[in-house]
Structure 1
Amino acid sequence: MPKIKITPNTLLNNSKKIWFTCLLMAQICFVTYLALGYGLTGITTGISGWSRLNSTAYVASDPIGNSMYAVHVLLAIVMIIGGSLQLIPAIRAKYTKFHRYNGRVFVLLACTISVAGMYLMIARGTVGNTLMQGLTIFGGCVVILSSILAVRAAKKRNISLHKIWAIRLYLAANGVLFFRLMIFAWFLLFGTLGVDTTTFTGPTVLAVSICSYVIPLLIAELVRHAETTTNKIITIATASLMVLISIIFLVGLFGIVLAEWYPAIVG
């Protein structure tokens, strides 16, 4: 039997696949929740029924805000699916035209959803303190900036630069999902330690916000460096970090499905 040589780069590539698979599982569950929770409820009872899912989702005297919320939630169903399709190498290689046009749709939806989300945050407010809300707005700004620069790089046929900004766009666009997975992982492991459940503030909420909107961008740079460095320790450490994040995603997914998404759908 020939020996299979496992190199640090092999470990890193496999860890990236594990991370993406875990995130894809979470996205499928999230999209199902959005489609059945908001989409089906909107069809059967009207958007006023969204109040059972989120107390700020519907305000009778605010048609503009209601429209923005509908855009923010319903377009996310298409954006999440389309964004992940962009990262699958086989699709990029075999279906180049689909990749190109799907990318344009993803950019348009991501920017639209981000603008709608920032409008809602300013107009209706949300949970958490000003710093947490600022981090969420930061994520929206990264989406818009990354979209512009990714499209510009693609038009110039600078594929390597386009890929860098496209990854940043993808991570920023999934920041809300990252936050939900990590905060529920924390709840399962440590309860409400560091969280003021009344105002949804505290050191844990702030730390998870940073880990949702800022740290993923830094980790992406670390992964990019680990792919080219000759330092095996950095490559192995990065692979281990990706596996750890994958485990956190799975723990958080288990928690949020049982505690929030499933009850919202069947309730």
Structure 2
Amino acid sequence: MTEQLSTPSIQAQFRPQKLLNLAATTWYVVTTIGQWAFGIYVIGFYGKSTASGDLAKWNQVLPHGYVKGDWMGNLVVGLHVLLAAILVLGGPLQLLPFIRRRVPRIHRWLGRIYVTTALIVATGGFVMVWTRGAVGDFVQHISISIQTIYIILFALLAWRCARARQFDQHRKWALRLFMVVSGVWFFRIGLMCWLVLNGGPVGFDPQTFSGPFLTALAVFTYALPASLGILELYFYAQKAAKRGVITVVALLIFILTALMAVGIFGAIAGMWLPRIG
């Protein structure tokens, strides 16, 4: 009798955690699809235009990305784009428990490459924002610059914890690094979700790429990353004893994942595929 009563009780106790795990897994799958699609687009668009010698085509996506006669600056932009593709293609692989547990050597080498690449891309992005005439307003530029600080700090902390074999802390700092490194991707997905839901640009001027919506999106993507807030809620829910808290966090992740899926679909159909077609 006791055994029959205790078994359902144990199952009920862990049901919210299963919901949380399902939410996290769904988020990971959708994020991986979106980031790999973005990586394929970057390689397809920039690789095709570079191979054909039509570097001026970069300016369709990156204003002042290509400047005639500035071979050094163009080289920096090209390397920045290439390394960014490596980040979005390799980042999701670092989050796979299978690779971490079964082939730790590959996980370690991927981690070294990811951290090094993130530092280079962040530094290069910072330089490009302030020297290549990036679009957007001053608040957007400041927000992106703050993101650079996050990336450098989280990369060093993830590396330090790994060296000290503090693997639980290393995992958390690596996830935080992934979130801030993915800032540019989150910005694009957030923008496309907004455009799809509103049927067009609302709250900003597409010509100047400025306005209250884009300013707010930049702040909550780069300077005060909402992704970090959700991640910290996830960490808290993993250890929480209250079923209600766990359930609310899981549902929040599901909702945000659905919005991400809308943005990814909009980006693939309306921006990435047409540019590499």
- TM class by smaller structure: over 0.9
**TM-score normalised by the chain length of structure 1:** 0.94
Equivalent residues in 2 for 1:234-253 (5 A)?
A: 234-253=245-264
Per the alignment, residue 276 of structure 2 pairs with 265
User: Shift of the alpha carbon at 1:126?
Assistant: 1.4
State the superposition RMSD in angstroms. Answer: 1.7
**TM-score normalised by the chain length of structure 2:** 0.91
Per the alignment, residue 238 of structure 2 pairs with 227
User: Shift of the alpha carbon at 1:47?
Assistant: 3.0
Per the alignment, residue 158 of structure 2 pairs with 150
Q: Does the residue aligned with 1:45 lie in a helix, a strand or coil?
A: coil
> For 1:62 and 1:257, how far apart are their aligned partners in 2?
32
Per the alignment, residue 201 of structure 2 pairs with 192
Q: Contact between 1:68 and 1:117, CA under 8 Å: does it hold in 2?
A: no
Q: Contact between 1:150 and 1:165, CA under 8 Å: does it hold in 2?
A: yes
> For 1:128 and 1:182, how far apart are their aligned partners in 2?
16
Per the alignment, residue 21 of structure 1 pairs with 29
> For 2:110 and 2:226, how far apart are their aligned partners in 1?
27
Per the alignment, residue 51 of structure 2 pairs with 43
1:198-226 CA distance string (max 9 Å, x none): 32222211222233231111111111001
> For 1:195 and 1:147, how far apart are their aligned partners in 2?
33
> For 2:147 and 2:243, how far apart are their aligned partners in 1?
32
2:147 is the alignment partner of 1:139:
yes
Per the alignment, residue 254 of structure 1 pairs with 265
> For 1:51 and 1:122, how far apart are their aligned partners in 2?
17
2:212 is the alignment partner of 1:203:
yes
Q: Contact between 1:53 and 1:264, CA under 8 Å: does it hold in 2?
A: no
User: Shift of the alpha carbon at 1:125?
Assistant: 2.3
Amino acid of the structure 2 residue aligned with 1:74: L
Per the alignment, residue 168 of structure 2 pairs with 160
Q: Does the residue aligned with 1:7 lie in a helix, a strand or coil?
A: helix
2:226 is the alignment partner of 1:215:
yes
User: Shift of the alpha carbon at 1:109?
Assistant: 0.6
2:65 is the alignment partner of 1:57:
yes
Q: Does the residue aligned with 1:126 lie in a helix, a strand or coil?
A: coil
> For 2:17 and 2:46, how far apart are their aligned partners in 1?
42
Distance 1:160 1:145, change over 3 A: same
Per the alignment, residue 115 of structure 1 pairs with 123
Q: Contact between 2:158 and 2:173, CA under 8 Å: does it hold in 1?
A: yes
User: Shift of the alpha carbon at 1:46?
Assistant: 4.8
User: Shift of the alpha carbon at 1:135?
Assistant: 1.2
2:104 is the alignment partner of 1:96:
yes
Per the alignment, residue 4 of structure 2 pairs with none
Amino acid of the structure 2 residue aligned with 1:241: L
Amino acid of the structure 2 residue aligned with 1:203: P
Amino acid of the structure 1 residue aligned with 2:36: I
1:184-204 CA distance string (max 9 Å, x none): 100111232211223222221
Q: Contact between 2:17 and 2:246, CA under 8 Å: does it hold in 1?
A: yes
Per the alignment, residue 176 of structure 1 pairs with 184
Identical counterparts, % of pairs: 31
Larger Rg over CA atoms: 2
Displacement over 4 Å in runs of 4+ = 2-6
User: Shift of the alpha carbon at 1:249?
Assistant: 1.1
Amino acid of the structure 2 residue aligned with 1:173: V
User: Shift of the alpha carbon at 1:60?
Assistant: 1.0
